[in-house]
Chain A
Amino acid sequence: MPDVEGAALRDRVAIAGIGATELSKDSGVTTLTLACRAILAACADAGLPPEELDGIATFRVGDSVLPAILAQTLGLRDLHYYVDQFGGGSVSHSIIGQAALAVHAGLAKHVVCYRALNARSEFRMGGIGRPLVDAVETQYQAPFGYFTPPQQFAMAARAHMARYGTTEAQLGQVAVTQRTHAVENPRARMRAPITLDDYYASRPVVLPFRLLDCCLETDGAVAVLVTSAERARDLAKTPVLVSGAAWGSGHTLYSNEQPDTTRTAAADMAPRLWSMAGLGPHDVDVAQLYDCFTYSVIVQLEDYGFCTKGEGGPFVESGATALGGAIPVNTHGGFLSEGYVHGMNHVYEAVSQLRHEAGARQVAGAEVALSTAQPGYVSGNCSALVLRRDA
């Protein structure tokens, strides 16, 4: 497959370990401590002594510990690979793709990718306690009281509802389905079942979004250990191969020539992601789709090709995304019910499913998973991984 973009990387690198902290409203500790806990947990999971780490990567928006301090704290003195990526959820999966490149090129042997945040107790994305970031054209938004992610995504959701007839009930069904999944997830912050009536009764945040359309601002950390497939086979757990990794694209709510806000950057990126993996949406057994808001699940179902454009709402309403459905989505409950670790907890759940360690929410015989990052409304970036259980 010499002509397929990225195919040289297909299945050559693996996720060998995963680690997570408790997810809470107030961790009571620094992001440095959270990161250390998650990373050491990922090493323990893989059976790898932490001193074997020679690469470290994170992403942040000025809200978390500098990874250089983390390396020092972990006693890692000779890093061969280091990434401190500026950005939010849209780059959450790109740091893993980049780590895979570095490992495949032989620059580093064991790269740990992590995200640590006190997104509820210290640095809320919703605005309070957060300085305005001028990386995302704030000057054209803030003067109208428009500067937070729920506002930006609600704007796109309304356009989708007007164009395709997507309904509030369909948005609500995303929240209800994911809560049903979270009931079976001990890590999840919200485990009490909800109904569509509960959804309608939840307070308006940014209409068309109600409270239950929105993710849970969360304190916590997740770490993922990336190494070669070959080395992963000598470690403790079943390797999960990186079959496809894609990142890039770039249209925002302001992109001249791309005024259709009902279509995300994922639609541009998905074809090369699938071709790199040599797989397609019909091969996927379980999908963890970035769910900062209910709507982002609906639009990604369309833009990654699980249903036709405009049919994401009815697709969710049909039960296809529930456990037992054609393509279970966000089996951990997602950001809406498990908690918000900015994309990394989606990778954690995808790996758990492919190792068949997901307990009562296990998708039977899961072999292939899609895990995705924020599809680009805010920053214009997008990233995603196709993961496969090692044979």
Chain B
Amino acid sequence: MSDADPRDLPFPSFAPHPDRDSAPWWSALDAGAFRLQRCGDCGTLRWPPRALCNRCRSFESGWEDVARSGRVASWIRTHQVFAPEAREKVPYVVVQVALDAQADLLLIGGWLTEREPAVGEAVVLEIVDGGHGHALPCWRPRASD
């Protein structure tokens, strides 16, 4: 995990509430790992974490490290203060990233670079401290600016 000060995060962060399916995902991130479930039968990567594969309905799965890269599927810039904690952070960008590991998996994440993202651009993962006890998957342009 980067040792950035969570107060410097460019977006307002709220603690996730992991459930029994997602706890391994969050604890892997907290340990600096980017890990997804792979179906033990058909090999499909699974997102979000679930007990069952939605392709072959298998309950078998294992967690494995996957590529820390993807492409921007979309992005937004939030100007409105939707919660008091966001007051000091607006405007901020949130990206939706299609993972290189399996392009039909879309993750919402933070954007760590000042310039705006572009739909389709290549991005790399950076796991940051959310300041609330959980690490968060965030993204930067693949080629440094």
Chain A residues proximal to chain B, CB less than 8 Å: 126-128, 132, 134, 137-148, 150-151, 154-156, 158-159, 162-163, 203-208, 253-254, 256-259, 261
**In the assembly, what is the distance between CA of A147 and CA of B80, in Å?**
12
Contacts of B48 in A (CB 8 A): 137, 140, 254
Q: Is B22 an interface residue (CB 8 A)?
A: yes
| Chain B residues with CB below 8 A from A150, complex form | 80
Interface presence of B68 (CB below 8 A) = no
Task: Give bound CA distance, A261 to B75, whole Å.
Answer: 12
Tell me which of A139, A163, A253, A259 contacts B16 (CB under 8 A). A139
CB-CB contacts below 8 Å: B13-58 with A: 13-19, 22, 44, 46-48, 54-55
Q: Which residues of A contact B138 (CB under 8 A)?
A: 144
A204 to B94, CA, bound (A): 15
A142-B16, A156-B74, A257-B54 known; 19 other A-B pairs, CB under 8 Å? A128-B84, A140-B108, A143-B130, A143-B136, A144-B13, A146-B76, A146-B78, A147-B82, A151-B94, A155-B96, A158-B74, A162-B120, A163-B119, A203-B79, A206-B79, A253-B106, A254-B47, A254-B106, A256-B105
**B26, chain A: closest CB distance, angstroms:** 8
| Any A CB within 8 A of the CB of B66 | no
| CB of A134, distance to nearest CB on chain B (Å) | 7
Measured in the bound complex, the distance between the Cα atoms of B34 and A33 in whole Å is: 51
Instruction: Find chain A residues with CB under 8 A from B136 CB.
Output: 143-144
Bound together, the chains give a CA A256 to CA B42 distance in angstroms of 14
Instruction: Kindly provide the distance from the CB of A286 to the nearest chain B CB, expressed in whole angstroms.
Output: 32
In the bound complex, how far is the Cα of B77 from the Cα of A158, in angstroms? 11
One of A127, A134, A146, A205 near B79 (C-beta < 8 A):
A205
Minimum C-beta distance from B32 to chain A (A): 16
Complex CA distance for A87 and B130, rounded to whole angstroms: 30
Give, as a whole number of angstroms, the nearest-CB distance from A66 to chain B.
Answer: 26
Of B47, B54, B89, B134, which is within 8 A of A145 by CB?
A: B89
Contact present for B82 and A126 (CB under 8 Å) = yes
Of A141, A155, A203, A256, chain B has the most CB atoms within 10 Å of the CB of A256
- List the A residue with the shortest CB-CB distance to B130: A143
Most A CB contacts (10 A, CB to CB) among B22, B48, B79 go to B79
Which residues of A lie under 8 Å from residue B130 when comparing CB positions? 143
Partner of B94, one of A144, A203, A258: A144
* Chain B, 71-118, CB within 8 A of any chain A CB: 73-80, 82-84, 86, 89, 91-92, 94, 96, 98, 103-110
**A205 vs B82: C-alpha distance when bound (angstroms):** 10
What's the least CB distance linking A138 to chain B, in Å? 8
For this complex, 30 residue pairs linking A to B, each with C-beta atoms less than 8 Å apart, are: A139-B19, A140-B16, A140-B107, A141-B108, A142-B14, A142-B16, A143-B14, A144-B13, A144-B108, A145-B12, A145-B86, A146-B108, A148-B82, A150-B80, A151-B82, A155-B75, A156-B74, A158-B74, A158-B75, A163-B119, A203-B79, A206-B76, A206-B78, A207-B77, A208-B76, A256-B55, A256-B105, A259-B103, A259-B106, A261-B106
**Contacts A142-B14, A144-B109 hold; do A155 and B83 have CB atoms under 8 A apart?**
no
